[in-house]
Structures are given as C-alpha cells and as structure tokens.
Structure 1
Amino acid sequence: MKVEVAVHVDDDRAVQGRSVTSKVLALLDAFSPACPELTLSELARRAGISLSTAHRRAAELAEWGALERGQDGRYRIGLRLWEVASLAPRGLVLREAAMPFLEDLYEVTHENVQLAVREGLELVFVERITGRRAIPVLTRVGGRFALHATGVGLVLLAHAPAEVQEEILGSPLRAYTDRTITDPVRLREVLASVRRTGYAVSDGQVTVGSVSVAAPITGPDGTVLAALSLVAHADGAQPAALAQLVRTAARGIARALTPVHG
C-alpha cells in the first residue's frame, strides 16, 4: 500500500522529469493577455501536464489566492498573486519615485507616458499613464515587448551589456510596421546615436501615426536603471521638444532614486 501511494505522488515527476514547482509555474505561465481565463483542460494542455495534476495544483493555487475560479469554472490570475508581484523592488521603488514626474509629464502633454525596465532580452512596462485623446498603443503595465522598436526599448538596448546587444542584433528582428528597423547595421547606428544624444526616437516603428521619444533613468553610478517615454501623435510632434521634456523628467526621477540606491 505504501509503495502504491509513493508511486501515485511521484508518477508525473517520474514520467515527465519535472518538479512540482515547475508544474505550478507552468500553470501560471499558461495565462497570457490573449488568454486571461482558461478552463482546467486548457490549463493542463498549455502547461503540458496531466489533467489530474492540473486539477490538484490549480486547487492549491486557488486556495492560496494565486488563482480564482469563476462561476463558469474558468480559472484566472488571483488578486493575491498581484499583491505579491507588486512588491518586486525594481517595480515598486521605481514606480513610487517616478509617479509624480509621470503625472507632471502627462499633464503637460496629455500623451501616453510609459516607464519600462529591461528584463533579459525584452522590456517590461512597470507603469503607464494614458488619456482619452492619447494615441492607442500596444503596451500594458506588466507587459513585455521587444527592445529594438519602441523608444524605451531603444534606450534600454543602447545601454545594455554588449552580450545582450549582440544576441539581439544577431537574431531576426520583428517588423511591427514598414518603418521598424530590422537591419542590424542600421540598428547599431541608431543605438550609437541614442548613447550620443541621450534620447531615442521611434517614429512609427510600432504604431503607425505615432512617435515615441524616450530617455534613460540612471542610478548614482551612471547605470541605466529604466527608461521613460512619451508616445504622441506623429502629426505636429516635435521630437526635439518632447525629448527635452522627457529628459528633464528622467533626471528628476534619477534624483528621487538616489537616496534609495545610494
């Protein structure tokens, strides 16, 4: 009897070679902006685990609050998980220091204001302010995006370690519009310009009819911690003037962060 119980507990691990933790993480990773709610069968399929394992782990996650189950039986990310994630220091400290400057920048322009950090080969948006008159964008708080096309992405890529730059430049570069830079030689020139001028301009590279102007937010040692951008309607936009506003706000955020990082 004891042998049978042991086999039952470890059967998925023995067959799939995956730990309990990896299965739990796979369940959470199954959700996406396109699939924010999933049935148990969909969860199991997307996580690559058996239905019985998905049932056990999902029940545990729901009991803790990482998942919620609706009346229709579908699962979605729970509020408890959001509460824990909001404590991530790179996001929490940065957002608290940056928010007054983001709000001022929005009040002056009434355009999209975005704050992002680099995570590996991608960027993650940690804050965003938008309004009814702002041009629609493809970004969302907590969302990931490629580094080579957006204003914040170009800033973060320009100041990323050499090995990160080489890996991205050596991989296929996705074209979001016909203006997206997909030529690595041209992209190198743009990144050099970003480092030289102190700001980046992405003109219609992600959304047609928009222009993004971004600047780096640095720490006391000069390390680029994050990037700040304005995404405005391209018609009538003056990138140089927007860059002055963005750079001023970015320097303000850097000063606000200094006591924390110093």
Structure 2
Amino acid sequence: MKTVAQKVMAILDAFAAGDVRLNLTELCRRTGLPLATGHRLVGELVQGGFLDRGPDGTYRIGTRLWRIGSQATAVTGLRELALPHMEDLYEATHDNVQLAVLRDGRALFVERLRGTRSVPTVTQVGAALPLHATGVGKVLLAYAPDAVADQLIGGGLTKHAARTITDPDELRRCLAEVRANGYAVTKDEMTLGAASVGAPVRAAGGSVIAALSLVVRSRTVDVRRLLPPLLTAARALSRDVTAHWRGESAGPPEEV
C-alpha cells in the first residue's frame, strides 16, 4: 500500500520522461493509481501550483515546482557558469544550444537557448531524454562508467526516430568513436528532421560532468561549421568549471 507521499511522488515522477503534457488517464496509467485517487491528488497539486492544468484538460509541471527544483545546487552553479558561454555559442551559430547532465540513466536538460529560426526540438529545461538517441546523451554515456551503458543496453534500446541506434554492438562502437573524436553526432535519431553535435564539459581531473550541444536541421547539418564554435565553448566552460564550480551536491560523474 503506497503512502500519500509516495502517490504524489509517483505523479510528479510521471513527467520525468520529458512529456510536456499528460492527461489524467495517462497519469493514472503511469502511476498505477485508481482514477478517483489520481483525480483527487492531481487536483490538489494544481491548487498548490505544483501542476498546471491546460484548457484541453492536460497537465504539466507547475511553476512552483519548477522554481523549487531549479534551486538544486549542483544545477544552479553549473547553469550560472554555462549561460555566458551558451549565449556566445548561440550568437555565433543562431542554432539551439543545450546543456545536460547525467541523472538516473537519462540526459537531464538543465538549460537551453533557442531563437525564432532554430529547429523545433522536444527538449525542455528539466526534461530527461534517452542517452542513446541524443547528442548530449551519447557524450554523457561515452564517458560514464561501463555499468551505465550495460544497464541501458540491458533494458533495451528504444527506437525514437528513423535512425535511432537500437543494436547494442553498434551503440558500443559509436561510444568508442565519441571517446576517440571528443564529440558526438546524431541525425534523425531523437526527432525526425533534427541533428545534433555534442561535446563534453569537464571538471578538475578531467571527469566529464556535463555535455553541451548544438541542434540543427538534419538536412543542413554541417559538422565542420558547428564543431569549432561548439568545442571552443565547451573548453571555455570546462575551464570555468575547473576554476569555480565545486559541485557541492554532486556525487560521482554518473550522478551529477
């Protein structure tokens, strides 16, 4: 029997996969709660500002919960250091700029910048997307302990778009290339029509604690154009992280 707190946490955790909006039926399916219980608890979360209810009856994370979560020390310190470099990178490319860390076997997006001409993406700040299908995810996975990749592969590699890697051996070869090249490239793997190039952000000692990426339209992707400004920004951020970020709340690299 779940406690009330466990039921509430299950409801909030249903949004962890990165879905922007969920209806009540889907929320109850994901949490295993009876419809009546889900309706009552979701209503209370809406009243408290932890969830928002849209005109179409769907729900999304509320601003109150977002404000609380955004204060996590391991995230805020990194975001503050990263933003100037992300802004410079955006000005140089005018493409989507994203920053993610590894959390619970997924890529947790802690900041993103986009403009009116940027390609639409599924990324939202606070969303967690698959490691094997995103540029930042491949970077984080490539430099994580082997156990992280083993667990991901053991659970099955879900296909998200036309070119998502679902073969374990192919994924391992891809990760080896990321480590050899120092960057990752995806094309039509998470979203049809979108490509990304990701680079590692390193802390003192060389450990990879985050990944920075550019997301562009797959039909116009030019790695030779994107790599120089991306790698420059990632290295500059790494220097700032090494000099100023202590990551007081962070655990090992795979838990940042």
Task: Using structure 2 for the length normalisation, give the TM-score.
Answer: 0.81
CA-CA distance at 1:104 after TM superposition:
0.9
Range 152-161 or range 130-139, more displaced? 130-139
Counterpart AA for 1:219: A
CA deviation vs aligned residue, 1:161-220 (integer Å, no higher than 9, x gap): 111111223342222333222221121111111111111111232234433111000111
The residue number in structure 2 matching 1:260 is: 245
| Cα distance in 2 between the residues matched to 1:24 and 1:144 | 19
Aligned-pair identity in percent equals 48
CA-CA distance at 1:244 after TM superposition:
2.0
| Cα distance in 1 between the residues matched to 2:57 and 2:158 | 37
Range 48-57 or range 195-204, more displaced? 48-57
Matched, 1:227 2:221: no
Range 103-112 or range 134-143, more displaced? 134-143
Residue of 115, 122, 142 corresponding to 2:126: 142
The 8 Å contact of residues 219 and 261 in structure 1, kept in 2 or not, is answered as no
Which has the greater radius of gyration?
1
The 8 Å contact of residues 95 and 114 in structure 2, kept in 1 or not, is answered as yes
Alignment of 1:41-190 (within 5 A): 47-49=31-33, 57=41, 61=45, 64-67=48-51, 77-190=61-174
Range 23-32 or range 199-208, more displaced? 23-32
Pair 199,163 (structure 1): closer, same or farther in 2 beyond 3 Å: same
Range 106-115 or range 198-207, more displaced? 198-207
Pair 219,19 (structure 1): closer, same or farther in 2 beyond 3 Å: same
Range 126-135 or range 167-176, more displaced? 167-176
Counterpart AA for 1:228: L
User: 5+ unaligned residues in a row in structure 2: which ranges?
Assistant: 248-256
The residue number in structure 1 matching 2:19 is: 33
User: 5+ unaligned residues in a row in structure 1: which ranges?
Assistant: 1-16
| Cα distance in 2 between the residues matched to 1:191 and 1:90 | 26
| Cα distance in 1 between the residues matched to 2:48 and 2:68 | 12
The residue number in structure 1 matching 2:179 is: 195
Range 214-223 or range 131-140, more displaced? 131-140
Range 228-237 or range 128-137, more displaced? 228-237
Larger RCO (alpha carbons 8 Å, 6+ apart): 2
Q: Secondary structure at the match of 1:207?
A: coil
| Cα distance in 2 between the residues matched to 1:179 and 1:109 | 25
Counterpart AA for 1:261: R
The 8 Å contact of residues 37 and 74 in structure 1, kept in 2 or not, is answered as yes
Range 189-198 or range 168-177, more displaced? 168-177
Pair 80,247 (structure 1): closer, same or farther in 2 beyond 3 Å: same
| Cα distance in 2 between the residues matched to 1:205 and 1:45 | 27
Pair 124,50 (structure 1): closer, same or farther in 2 beyond 3 Å: same
The residue number in structure 1 matching 2:224 is: 240
CA deviation vs aligned residue, 1:41-88 (integer Å, no higher than 9, x gap): 886676444567557655764565434678999866433212111111
Range 41-50 or range 25-34, more displaced? 41-50
How many residue pairs align between the two structures? 244
